[in-house]
Amino acid sequence: MRTQVGIVGAGPAGLTLAHLLQREGIESVVLEDRSREYVEQRLRAGVLEQAIADLLVESGAGERLRGEGIVHEGIELQFDRERHRIPLRDLTGGRSIVIYGQTEIVKDLIRLRLAAGLPLLFEVGDVSVDDLESERPSIRFAHEGAEHVLECDVVAGCDGYHGVCRPSIPAGVLSEFSRDYPFGWLGILAEVAPSNDELVYAHHERGFALLSLRSPELSRLYIQCRPDEDLAEWHDDRIWEELQLRLGLDGWTLAEGLILEKGITGMRSYVAEPMRFGRLFLAGDAAHIVPPTGAKGLNLALHDVRLLAEALVSWYRTGSSELLDGYSDACLRRVWRAEHFSWWMTSMLHRFDSGDDFDLRLQLSQLRYVTTSSAASTSLAENYVGIDRI
């Protein structure tokens, strides 16, 4: 088997890359180790920067997004039992965010690719990437009982944080940077209309909580928990009780409903540099992750593959490797901005058990500053909606 670009991973990064390349007449094969059902149901992100929503729409993958995506022009920060609106649109010269589930983006891209009869293989096994420093890198994998070797011009490692591509880079090549947080998020999807028109990020002495949504009928809610929390100890009543405590306000209650899904997510910041080794290019969570508080992970993954697609198009058209050579540096400028913003939002909003209330007082001071100073709220807003040029 031979292709131009071998793509490992059918998450948002791999599927969007394949889609952008196909529009430019560049062939690719996408290999995914999970089933189609699994990747289409895996509940994750929900907030798209406007530039990323525009990328999907302009590239022809946004038909449903255009109809079902919900535009939000602000978010709310809650602390000391008060809510304060950050008017994103007004502070950023008209930019907003779009609420549209990652699962829906993945479904849309899979449907487009399969309808066009283009190669996308699920449930592949034993994936390995070889000859990365040669001009003929290859991907070995097993599929439906047979072993295959896919020869490529380049390999795109879009296989997420736990994938095989990054660990295939020889020791000593990558510099790694990381930060672990002493907490996780317990997230639920509930069959109930969202109780607020905009997202609410709540600082509370019992820990952080977030009110989000997926549609006019589906709420998505999170609470800060221990990183090793046992989900079995969180029966539905206890989850609602905790959400009511952390999000509750005088004169406002959270509407409850049937919990359809629950899960626990760890929190980590991580960057590997450079995002390239020979003919292997890393994109998305394969190269970097952020804690979800800034809603940046999915957006970063799609910014990466937009640059990678442009660089590959230029290489195939002109033979110049200038953009490919600049790919890692160009991505990392945005990655580090998002790393900082995500760490900062996380640090401002979560409860840290530091023994005294020094951190708590700093957080409250910062929240008050961010919600009263136009300089500080503009800084939050422009990071949240996504910085244009970086």
Active site positions, annotated: 72, 201, 292, 296, 384
Nearer to ligand PHB, 28 or 212 (CB): 212
Residue 12 partner contact from ligand FAD, ligand PHB, none using kind-dependent CB cut-offs of 5 to 8 Å = ligand FAD
Please give the DSSP secondary-structure letter assigned to residue 27. Answer: -
Residue 189 contacts residue 211 (beta carbons within 8 Å): no
163 binds, among ligand FAD, ligand PHB, none (CB under 5 to 8 A by kind): ligand FAD
If one asks whether residue 242 binds ligand FAD (CB under 6 A), the answer comes out as no
CB closer to ligand FAD out of 14 and 74: 14
Cα–Cα distance measured from residue 240 to residue 227, given in angstroms and rounded to the nearest whole number: 19
Concatenating the DSSP letter of every residue in 87-137 gives: -HHHHTTS--EEE--HHHHHHHHHHHHHHTT--EE-S-EEEEEE-TTSSS-
Min dist. Cβ of residue 51 to ligand PHB (A)? 17
Rounded to 10°, the helix 322-349/358-372 angle is 110
Work out the number of other CB atoms within 10 angstroms of the CB of residue 145.
Answer: 6
- Does 62 sit near ligand FAD (CB under 6 A)? no
Q: Shortest gap between Cβ of 86 and ligand FAD (angstroms)?
A: 16
164 binds ligand FAD (CB under 6 A): yes
- Is residue 280 involved in binding ligand PHB (CB under 6 A)? no
Q: Is 46 in the site for ligand PHB (CB under 6 A)?
A: yes
With residue 259 as reference, give the H or E element that holds it. Answer: strand 258-273
Q: Identify the residue among 20, 56, 154, 158 touching ligand FAD (CB under 6 A).
A: 158
Contact assessment for residue 383 and residue 290, using Cβ atoms and an 8 Å cutoff: no
Q: Does 203 bind ligand PHB (CB under 6 A)?
A: no
* Close Cβ partners of 340 (under 8 Å, ≥ 6 residues apart): none
Report the length, in residues, of the chain. 390
Question: Is 47 among the residues that bind ligand PHB (CB under 6 A)?
Answer: yes
Interaction of residue 383 with ligand PHB, rule CB under 6 A: no
Exactly one of 7, 20, 33, 348 binds ligand FAD (CB under 6 A); that residue is 33
113 vs 246, beta carbon nearer ligand PHB: 246
**Residue 115 CB partners (closer than 8 Å, separation 6+):** none
Choice from 32, 108, 153, 198 touching ligand FAD (CB under 6 A): 32
